[in-house]
Structure 1
Amino acid sequence: MKFKNPFKRKVTDQTAGAGYRFFLGSSSSGKRVNERSAMQMTAVYSCVRILSEAVASLPLHIYEQEDGQSKKATDHPLFFLLHDEPNPEMTSFVFRETLMTHLLLWGNAYAQIIRNGKGEVVALYPLMPDRMKVDRDENGQLYYEYQVSTADPKVNPAGTVRLAPEDVLHVPGLGFDGLVGYSPIATAKNSIGMAIACEEYGAKFFAHGAAPSGVLEHPGVLKDPSKLRDSWQATFGGSANSGKVAVLEEGVKYTPISIDPQQAQFLETRKFQINEIARIFRVPPHMVGDLEKSSFSNIEQQSLEFVKYTLDPWVSRWEQAMTKILLTPEEKKKYTIKFNVDGLLRGDYQSRMNGYAIARQNGWMSANDIRRLEEMDPIPEEAGGDLYLVNGNMLPLQQAGSFYSGKEEDDEVLEMDQEQDESGNGDSNGNQDSVPERHNRRRNLV
């Protein structure tokens, strides 16, 4: 089928990424995995909390570009919404934390944009991603269809609300079509399902693991075997009864058959699954409590790598999604929306001070520039707080040989004065200056 304009072709089916939910369901371990059950895993909960709180705690500002300089656009209506309160019901921290949690679990974050009569953004409200469907109409245009719940403030009689793309702030995660992201929980359900199975096995081991545990053998025939089993379980079952001494009567023999968890590498498996989940979210193991391979010499570098390779991509997704939908085409030429990650990139105290010293001595930071980064009060301008200083023995490149050039001229002057002394000629009055005096006088003239 041919199209005159490939960018205006008619598409009637749904987006390629809209059917990602087929990934969800039972995992190979037999455990059903979804976004909510995955949060019961401590490793998943920890990774989601670390990333969502990190993004929520970063300063978020809208900047205005003017005369080649960038300054905070505090008068822009979006500044208050993004930095303080996106809606009357929640703070900016809670709003971003909620959306980032959605993004990490479902692979997409949605927020409804409320505009006034002028088209200006006046509020942003989070939307649940599991109730959102991204599709195309008969003309191939994207639309968002949201399933309304009875818990929502206003219930649509039809049960669904269709929203235009300009009315939805959509931050997609990794996907196949660039429009809808895939759920990390769904794509990694087998790893998470195995971790859930290991945790459940450990819990059941302590809940039902009689110590000792095995087979009860009776030399005769029991009329009610369940009565003996229940009596044994009530007396020796559970972690609270672990270590009790068993007294056997009537020739009853106990044969342990259970496998020690350590022999079955149970603990090693659980530890590996924690690292596996941390790998899914690209979180350093030391941030989820695994300090086995961390030390004082490398843990700071791991934290910096977390900002650079883990947090920065998420921050870029947020920034570009907000810039795309919240700013008009004219505003995009003048304004930018940026997170400030400088605070997370700060090294230890000694490293910062060494860096500040180099910047101060080379003249590209003033005392007040340094104090602002350290959140200290500025030095008054009359006291020199805004002065930019350089080392006194540094010269421009074109004057690099001036010292040696001047020395050669001085040597020539000294040689001429010595010849004058030998000939006995002085000045017009017959006065004879000493060689150093004539040398200094001549040097000043030169």
Structure 2
Amino acid sequence: MSFLFGQREQRGAWAQEAPPIPPNSAQGGGYSRVDLSRMEASLQKVAVWSCVNLTATIAETMPLAYYPKPRESAPMPSWLEDLGGDGHGLADWLYQFALSTMLRGNAYGVVADRDRSRGTPTQIVLQHPDMVGVTLDMEGRPDWRVAGKTVPREDMWHRRVHPSPGRLLGLSPIALQATTIATGISALQFGASWFQDGAHPSGILSSEQALDARQAMTAKERFMAAVHGRREPAVLGNGWKYQTIQISPNESQFLETNNYTAAECCRIFGPGYAEIYGYETGGSLTYSNIEQRSLDLLTYAVDPWLVRIERFLSALLPPGQHVKFNRAALVRTDLLTRYRAHAIALQNRFEVVNEVRELEDRVPVPWGDAPFEGQAPKIAIDDN
């Protein structure tokens, strides 16, 4: 019996948390102490903030359509338009969700209202992940706490990404890559302290003679008075030597370290981010991939997050209903390319005129809701 209880207690211990973030990920003193235990701390690294903010902003601003029936869109339910119930709307809720899952690998919410017939949540108040704690009871069921207060299991809404076998919580990218992020932040802090703190001498005034403390201070004061505010060279007597201490801007701000860690931080969140922001990745950027970088970013980096959001939101709807992002809103093409695509769609009858006009922000026409009867009109486009 004790053996079985020992197994359960061990499970409750290691299943409680994803790999913890070291409180001081970069060891040492002064500027080298980087605390990533707070979710927002990692955002001090510009590359981390840029990747997370870009993805969350895309999720916030990309058009989201509601389909009560397959291939038939309709106005979104009122409860879904303000899922958080705080008046900020679904877009604000989606940004919070993306921020939490990208940094912590988990999103937590307290269910404030439910559908009376289905019992599914219709109002989910997202919680800061650093305020949520969980342990497993003797039966392996989670006991949730938010800001130290117990929340009933049925009222806790938890969704994870980066799942790991045997763990309740998803893996945190910040915890896994804490060393890389902390190194980048430490380099930035070092560069800032070099100029702000003034803790480094600008030069050395030395003498061949032995000096006590009073003589050394007198020599320093006289030298400073002689050169203060002047551009003329200093003239020293016999036995004195002045040597400047210089450091290049590249070394003083750890620019190479900053650039390297920035590219590495972008890779934490997926391919395409480093190239979008112009960080050196070891390859050359050609015209071809500049033209395709928005599509690459959507395909390999952002789209997995959009798919997760679609699945989580669709699970709140009745069976057969779902939501879907309009990904075409991200991939902006030039006018000629768009018109060529419209022409192909019209000629092959998988779009109608009013659908094309809606995509181009034009008002519908009375005859534009039906596909062409008979032979579709030919649309000639000169390639020259």
8 Å Cα contact 1:361-1:389 kept in structure 2: no
8 Å Cα contact 2:347-2:377 kept in structure 1: no
8 Å Cα contact 1:284-1:306 kept in structure 2: yes
Amino acid in the other structure paired with 1:171: R
Q: Using the TM superposition, give the Cα deviation of residue 267 of structure 1 relative to its aligned residue in structure 2, in angstroms.
A: 2.5
Amino acid in the other structure paired with 1:189: A
Match of 2:350 in 1: 364
8 Å Cα contact 2:113-2:123 kept in structure 1: yes
Instruction: Name the CA shift for 1:211/1:265 in 2 (closer, same or farther; >3 Å).
Output: closer
User: Does 2:143 align with 1:163?
Assistant: no
Match of 2:67 in 1: 63
Number of residue pairs matched by the alignment: 357
User: Does 2:363 align with 1:377?
Assistant: yes
User: Does 2:292 align with 1:301?
Assistant: yes
- Indicate which of 268, 281, 284 corresponds to 2:256: 268
Match of 2:50 in 1: 46
Match of 1:103 in 2: 101
Q: Using the TM superposition, give the Cα deviation of residue 53 of structure 1 relative to its aligned residue in structure 2, in angstroms.
A: 1.0
- Indicate which of 168, 171, 176 corresponds to 1:179: 168
Instruction: Name the CA shift for 1:393/1:344 in 2 (closer, same or farther; >3 Å).
Output: closer
Q: Using the TM superposition, give the Cα deviation of residue 127 of structure 1 relative to its aligned residue in structure 2, in angstroms.
A: 0.5
Instruction: Determine helix, strand or coil for the equivalent of 1:20.
Output: coil
- Indicate which of 296, 307, 314 corresponds to 1:316: 307
8 Å Cα contact 2:26-2:179 kept in structure 1: yes
Instruction: Name the CA shift for 1:212/1:376 in 2 (closer, same or farther; >3 Å).
Output: same
Match of 1:81 in 2: 79
- Indicate which of 10, 24, 27 corresponds to 2:22: 24
Instruction: Name the CA shift for 1:170/1:247 in 2 (closer, same or farther; >3 Å).
Output: farther
8 Å Cα contact 1:322-1:337 kept in structure 2: yes
- Indicate which of 372, 376, 386 corresponds to 2:370: 386
Identity across the alignment (%): 27
Q: Distance in 2 between matches of 1:291 and 1:230?
A: 47
Instruction: Determine helix, strand or coil for the equivalent of 2:213.
Output: coil
Q: Using the TM superposition, give the Cα deviation of residue 176 of structure 1 relative to its aligned residue in structure 2, in angstroms.
A: 1.4
8 Å Cα contact 2:63-2:329 kept in structure 1: no
Instruction: Name the CA shift for 1:22/1:236 in 2 (closer, same or farther; >3 Å).
Output: farther
8 Å Cα contact 2:143-2:150 kept in structure 1: no
137-146 vs 384-393, which moves further: 384-393
Instruction: Name the CA shift for 1:312/1:201 in 2 (closer, same or farther; >3 Å).
Output: same
8 Å Cα contact 2:16-2:136 kept in structure 1: no
Structure 1, unpaired ranges of 5+: 2-9, 148-158, 395-446
Residues 122-147 of structure 1, C-alpha deviation per residue, up to 9 Å, x if partnerless?
42212011121233223322342222
Q: Distance in 1 between matches of 2:376 and 2:78?
A: 46
Q: Using the TM superposition, give the Cα deviation of residue 55 of structure 1 relative to its aligned residue in structure 2, in angstroms.
A: 1.2
TM-score (norm 2): 0.78
Instruction: Determine helix, strand or coil for the equivalent of 2:91.
Output: helix
8 Å Cα contact 2:310-2:323 kept in structure 1: yes
Q: RMSD of the TM alignment (CA)?
A: 3.8
Instruction: Name the CA shift for 1:130/1:218 in 2 (closer, same or farther; >3 Å).
Output: same
User: Does 2:213 align with 1:223?
Assistant: yes
Q: Using the TM superposition, give the Cα deviation of residue 279 of structure 1 relative to its aligned residue in structure 2, in angstroms.
A: 1.0
Q: Using the TM superposition, give the Cα deviation of residue 388 of structure 1 relative to its aligned residue in structure 2, in angstroms.
A: 2.4
Which protein has the larger Cα radius of gyration, Structure 1 or Structure 2?
Answer: 1
8 Å Cα contact 1:17-1:182 kept in structure 2: no
Q: Distance in 1 between matches of 2:376 and 2:63?
A: 39
Structure 2, unpaired ranges of 5+: 2-6, 379-384
Amino acid in the other structure paired with 1:70: E
Residues 43-92 of structure 1, C-alpha deviation per residue, up to 9 Å, x if partnerless?
22212211111111123344212xx5433364xxxx22333463134222
Identify which of structures 1 and 2 has the higher relative contact order when contacts are C-alpha pairs closer than 8 Å and 6+ apart. Answer: 2
Instruction: Name the CA shift for 1:363/1:244 in 2 (closer, same or farther; >3 Å).
Output: farther
Match of 1:281 in 2: 269
Q: Using the TM superposition, give the Cα deviation of residue 387 of structure 1 relative to its aligned residue in structure 2, in angstroms.
A: 3.2
Runs of 4 or more above 6 Å deviation? 209-212, 226-237, 243-246
TM-score (norm 1): 0.68
Residues 267-307 of structure 1, C-alpha deviation per residue, up to 9 Å, x if partnerless?
22221221111111225224335489545432231111111
Q: Using the TM superposition, give the Cα deviation of residue 313 of structure 1 relative to its aligned residue in structure 2, in angstroms.
A: 1.1
Match of 2:41 in 1: 37
